[in-house]
Amino acid sequence: MTRLVDKAVSDQRSPTSQSGERDTRTLSGTWFDRTRYHPAITRIWEPRVHRMFRGNTWLIEGRDADLVIDFGLGVTSLTNALDRDVGKPVIALATHVHVDHVGCLHEFEDRLGHGSEAAYFQRMPDEFTLAHLVRTTPDAAGEEPPAGWKCEDFELRPAPLTRIVADGDVIDLGDTFFRVVHLPGHSAGSIGVLDEARKLLFSGDAIYEGRLLDGFPGSSVDDYVGTMRRLISMNVETVFGGHGEPISGGRMKAIAAGYIADREAGGREPFVPSIA
């Protein structure tokens, strides 16, 4: 097990928002929206992009360092939207290499991801990032994208990983730590991070409330079934996914069980969970 610890700094900012309260301070123009679910956990997303590319960015503010999970489509700068203490170290963790999660990863110096996709972060090939889907979706950035933005010209900027993480590694923020969990299936290098003390899981695209996709290059139904079995076994109360609102641990287990049953019955279409 590798322990990932960043140097502490003395300057801190006390969050003022309450759990679940809408917070629209200091955004990058009007491109991003945000909701704070906990004094230290904020969801940031791009509400105007096509729903297929509308991924979540999660900011977790720690005592000694902050953790940013996933990085949107990259239409405009994400770092300007974080509203964090810039004097504190920040760790950037990509849950996987798909385009809607790595658009602004290059803006960060300390970039973590799984080794099985390390080569793709370095080159950002269309085959594994799916960036070509942005170029062929006319409204990828919505009906009114920022001036000068054209979907047909879209390219991801390479963001080579500076640290490779594996299952069981620990990311330490000083007052809390997260254990890396490898959750392959949606992609070979899909990972999440688990706060075992608070029973919180940041799951990337392994699981969320919505269509679960396992038909991309690098996807594996067999691996996904194994991931779903692992998720069912986890003691988790809240899941912060790669898309949409957080879900409960119970809902996570129901979705996982539904996916397993569907695939074991021969299902091939994208799995759509039954209504909660």
- Render pLDDT for 37-75 as a digit per residue (tens, 0 to 9): 999 999 999 999 999 999 999 999 999 999 999 999 999
Report the pLDDT value the prediction gives residue 144, as an integer from 0 to 100.
Answer: 86
Please determine, for residue 133, whether its predicted confidence score (pLDDT) is greater than 50: yes
Helices (runs of H) and strands (runs of E) counted in the chain: 6, 15
Please determine, for residue 12, whether its predicted confidence score (pLDDT) is greater than 70: no
Domains of the chain are 3-264 (3.60.15.10)
Please determine, for residue 3, whether its predicted confidence score (pLDDT) is greater than 80: no
| 142, 50 Cβ separation under 8 angstroms | yes
Provide the whole-model pTM: 0.90
Report the pLDDT value the prediction gives residue 83, as an integer from 0 to 100.
Answer: 86
Please determine, for residue 7, whether its predicted confidence score (pLDDT) is greater than 90: no
- Render pLDDT for 222-270 as a digit per residue (tens, 0 to 9): 999 999 999 999 999 999 999 999 999 999 999 999 999 999 999 999 9
